[in-house]
Amino acid sequence: MIVVIAAFAFLIRQAGRDKLATAVTLSGPAFVAMDFVSQAAKTVLVGVADGGDQSAVPEKANTQPAGLPQRGRVYPAVQRGL
């Protein structure tokens, strides 16, 4: 992935967009590093959950963001046909 970012930055620099090439060169590896950290965190959570420790598992596996109906539920206005 780093090779792709470097090649892309090289092409941008050849097109005369030095500031954009610098931004791609700096931000590209940062996004790749964030992906590695995210994968490591997921691996740790799966390992903890597989080990039987329920502290890493949410109380409700089927949680919804605040303000959204639960699956299968309908707003009262929809039930009344409004």
For residue 26, being part of any structural domain is answered with yes
pTM for the full model? Answer: 0.50
Query: From residue 54, how far is each of 20, 36, 39, 44, 59 by CA, in Å?
Result: 46, 25, 20, 13, 9
CA atoms of 46 and 38, how far apart (whole Å): 12
How many domains does the chain fold into? Answer: 1
Q: Is 6 exposed, middle or buried (0-12, 13-18, 19+ CB in 10 A)?
A: middle
pLDDT digits (tens, 9 = 90+) for 20-37: 999 999 999 899 899 999
Is 66 part of any domain?
A: no
In a domain, 62, yes or no: no
Say if 43 falls within a structural domain: yes
Residue 55 confidence (pLDDT):
64
Look at residue 19 in the predicted model and tell me its pLDDT. Answer: 94
Any domain includes 79? no
pLDDT at site 2: 81
pLDDT < 70 regions, the chain: 52-82
Task: Assess if residue 68 is contained within a domain.
Answer: no
Q: What is the residue range of 23's domain?
A: 2-57
